[in-house]
Chain A
Amino acid sequence: VPAAPSAPLGCDDPESEAAAEVAVSYINGHSHHGYKFALNRIENIRVVPQGLNNDIIFLELDLLETTCHILSPTPLANCTVRSFEQHAVEGDCDVKLQRLNGKLSVLASKCHSRADSGEDIIQLCPDCPLLASLNNTEVLTAVTAALSDHNSKTTDAYLRLIEIGRAKITSYPAHTVSVEFAVAATNCSAKAAKDNVEACQLLPDDQSNFGFCTAVMITHPSQDLRVDCQLYGHQVPTPDIPFFSRPGVTYSQPGQDTS
């Protein structure tokens, strides 16, 4: 007599949480832009038996953006989830996994990220600044000024911009542009770059050194610029996930699809 089908898994069952952990690790490990995402809720789980000790698992996950850029070596457990007031970004992911002899592996994933609605935030936090478009002229000006300021003062490697992560513009009490962006060290010192910046290229993958910068530029009523850049140090790249290999600006807009 065939074994009775096992009771459907609950979304908070240990097996579901184990599958979700594998899925979130895969999503972060295969994402090349933006920030790491943490699990907020398992929306649904469906297990389709394929045979003895062989199941296909369909997961619907609700994720939240953390403050760690995707290139940061910080373990996800140490990454803070962005608060509602910081204008949170949500990720909705559908993930297909296989559980074969108890071992979980991801077969496919599709995610869509979107920032929380500005209306919701203003309703609950009228003074909270909202995310600005990464193509905004003031944002681009602030990033360019911040990176130039850092490169003019550092005695280390000349840094190139990899991507702008997020930006906010506030008008009160001063007109302020806050930006976060990912950078990478080049093969030049900042001093040498002054003579021939065109020669400064990103380091090859086996020597890559990525970093992250935050900057605040006040344009009115006073002028002020504060920049903080931290390099992560060389990380051994995961062979099947090529790091960025070219300078230039790419935008990680919340509201993007990744598969």
Chain B
Amino acid sequence: PVAKRAVAEVAQHDKVPRPVGFLPPPPPCPGKIRHFKI
């Protein structure tokens, strides 16, 4: 049987800090408007 190996809780100080003001990437679609929007 495959037992899931317990993963030691990552020590607090090891967590990668999120940069302040982290913005999600722009949505992939719709794309840019090249002329104007009707």
**A residues adjacent to B (C-beta < 8 A):** 8-13, 16, 38-45, 62, 64, 81, 84, 88, 90, 116, 120
7 CB contacts below 8 A, A to B, read A10-B29, A11-B29, A11-B31, A39-B34, A41-B37, A43-B31, A116-B38
The reply to whether the CB of B35 lies closer than 8 angstroms to some CB of chain A is yes
When distances are taken between beta carbons in the complex, the residues of chain B under 8 Å from A39 are 34
| B32 contact from A8, A12, A45, A81, Cβ within 8 A | A12
When distances are taken between beta carbons in the complex, the residues of chain B under 8 Å from A88 are 36, 38
When distances are taken between beta carbons in the complex, the residues of chain A under 8 Å from B34 are 38-41
Asked if B32 and A41 make an inter-chain contact with CB atoms under 8 angstroms apart, the answer reads yes
Give Cα distance in the complex from A9 to B30, angstroms.
11
**B residues adjacent to A (C-beta < 8 A):** 28-38
Asked if A41 and B31 make an inter-chain contact with CB atoms under 8 angstroms apart, the answer reads yes
Asked if A40 and B33 make an inter-chain contact with CB atoms under 8 angstroms apart, the answer reads yes
Asked if A42 and B30 make an inter-chain contact with CB atoms under 8 angstroms apart, the answer reads yes
Asked if B35 and A44 make an inter-chain contact with CB atoms under 8 angstroms apart, the answer reads no
Assuming A88-B38, A90-B38, is B28 touching A41 (CB within 8 A)? Answer: no
Asked if A81 and B29 make an inter-chain contact with CB atoms under 8 angstroms apart, the answer reads no
Q: From residue A254, how far is it (CB to closest CB) to chain B in Å?
A: 11
Q: From residue B36, how far is it (CB to closest CB) to chain A in Å?
A: 6
Q: From residue A246, how far is it (CB to closest CB) to chain B in Å?
A: 34
Asked if B30 and A41 make an inter-chain contact with CB atoms under 8 angstroms apart, the answer reads yes
By Cβ-Cβ distance, the 5 closest A-B pairs, closest first, are A11-B31, A10-B28, A11-B29, A42-B31, A12-B31
When distances are taken between beta carbons in the complex, the residues of chain A under 8 Å from B31 are 10-12, 16, 41-43
Give Cα distance in the complex from A10 to B38, angstroms.
22
Asked if B30 and A44 make an inter-chain contact with CB atoms under 8 angstroms apart, the answer reads yes
Q: From residue A32, how far is it (CB to closest CB) to chain B in Å?
A: 24
When distances are taken between beta carbons in the complex, the residues of chain A under 8 Å from B35 are 38, 40, 64, 81
When distances are taken between beta carbons in the complex, the residues of chain B under 8 Å from A10 are 28-29, 31
When distances are taken between beta carbons in the complex, the residues of chain B under 8 Å from A38 are 34-35
- B29's closest neighbor in chain A, by CB? A11
Give Cα distance in the complex from A43 to B31, angstroms.
6
Q: From residue A243, how far is it (CB to closest CB) to chain B in Å?
A: 29
Assuming A40-B33, A41-B33, is B38 touching A11 (CB within 8 A)? Answer: no
Q: From residue B13, how far is it (CB to closest CB) to chain A in Å?
A: 31
